[in-house]
Amino acid sequence: MYETRISTLEERLLKADEDRAAAITAQKAAYEAERAACEAIEQRMAQFEEILRRSGQLPSAALLRIEDGWNWTAAPDGKYTTRSSYIAIKSRRSDCQSQNADAKSLASVWTTPAPHKAFVTLWRILRNRLPTCDNLSKRNTSLGDEERECPHCHEHGESTNHLFTSCAKTQEIWDEIQKWIGIILARPCTIGLHWKMFCYCGKNKKVTKLLRMIWVGCCWILWKKWNDKKFEGKDWEVKDLILELKARTWCWNRMFGVLDKDLDFSLWSYDDLIFRSV
C-alpha cells in the first residue's frame, strides 16, 4: 500500500515535470516567434526607408529609430500618415528641382559616347548623388568645418553645384574648354542647367554628341582630381586637367567615332575644335 502511494506520487511528480518542461518550450517558441516577427517588421521598415531614400523621395531622417519604435519626423506628432508623406515628397521634389536635371536631359545621358565608368559618374552628378559634403551632411554624417569647405577656394561649402560649376577653379576649366572647342557659353550655376546648356547648343547631332562627350570627360576627371586633392593633398593645375581631357576624349573618339576615328591628336587638341570639324 505504502509502495503504491510512493509510485503514484513519483508518477505525478514526473508528469508535473514534463508539463513544466513542455510549458517552458512553448513559451520559448512563442518568444522566438514574436522576436522573429519584430525583426522582420524592422527589416521591412528599413528596406522601405532605404528604397524611399534611394529614389530621392524621402527627406533625410524622415524615419528615426527611437527606443521601442519609429518616429516619422515628417509629421509633428511623429505618426505616419499618407498626407504627411505626400507633403514631404512634394517639398523634396521642389527642393531638388533646381539641382537635378529634368527627365528629358537625364534620358540623353544614355546616348552619350563615353565609357561606362564615366557614364556612372555622369548619372550620379545629374541626380546629385555624389558623396559631396553637403550630401553627406544630409545623411547625418558628422564632418568638421574644414572638411565641409571646398578644398580649392576654401570660400564655400562643397556641393555638386559648387564643384562642377561655380568654384573659381572650375570656372577656369570651363573657360579653357570653351577656348578649345570654340564656343562661348553662359555660366549657369546649377549642374542641371549647365549640362542642358552645354549639350543642347550643338548645331547638329555630331556636335551635340561631341559636346556631351567633352562635358562628361571634364566632370569625370575633375571629380577624380578633386578627391585626390581632398584625400591625398595632391595639387593639380587646370592645364593638367585640360591635357588629360584632350587625351581621354581623343581615345574615346577613336572608340565611338563621333568625328573621324583617325583624326590626329595634334588636330584634335588645337583650339576651335568644333569650328574645324563641322
Segment contacting Zn ion (CB under 5 A): 25-33, 82-90, 133-141, 152-160?
A: 152-160
Q: How many residues does the chain have?
A: 278
* Nearest distance from C-beta of residue 163 to Zn ion, angstroms: 7
Q: Which stretch binds Zn ion (CB under 5 A): 37-45, 136-144, 164-172, 175-183?
A: 164-172
Whole-number Å distance between alpha carbons of 92 and 96: 6
Nearest to Zn ion of 49, 149 (CB atom):
149
Q: 1: burial class by Cβ within 10 Å (0-12, 13-18, 19+)?
A: exposed
Residues 126, 192 contacting (CB under 8 angstroms): yes
Minimum Å distance from CB 124 to Zn ion?
19
Residue 106 φ/ψ region, left for φ over 0, alpha for ψ in the -120 to 50 degree band, beta for the rest: alpha
Chain residues 114-143 in contact with Zn ion, contact rule CB under 5 A? none
Among 92, 121, 134, 152, binds Zn ion (CB under 5 A): 152
Query: Got the DSSP string for 117-145?
Result: HHHHHHHHHHTT-S--HHHHHHTT----H
What is the rounded CA–CA span in Å between residue 149 and residue 163? 11
Which one-letter amino acid corresponds to residue 198? F
Task: Report how many residues bind Zn ion under the rule CB under 5 A.
Answer: 4
What b/e string do you get for 108-127 counting C-beta neighbours within 10 Å, with b at 16 or more? bbeebbbeeebbebbeebbb
Residue from the set 88, 167, 199, 207 that interacts with Zn ion by CB under 5 A: 167
Q: Which stretch binds Zn ion (CB under 5 A): 46-54, 159-167, 171-179, 267-275?
A: 159-167
Of the candidates 52, 126, 150, 218, which one interacts with Zn ion according to CB under 5 A?
150
CB of 83 to Zn ion, least distance (A): 41
Smallest gap from Cβ 157 to Zn ion, in A, equals 9
| CB nearer Zn ion, residue 174 or residue 252 | 174
Amino acid code (one letter) for 69: G
* Chosen residue from 153, 189, 243, 267 binding Zn ion by CB under 5 A: 153
Q: Applying CB under 5 A, which residues contact Zn ion?
A: 150, 152-153, 167
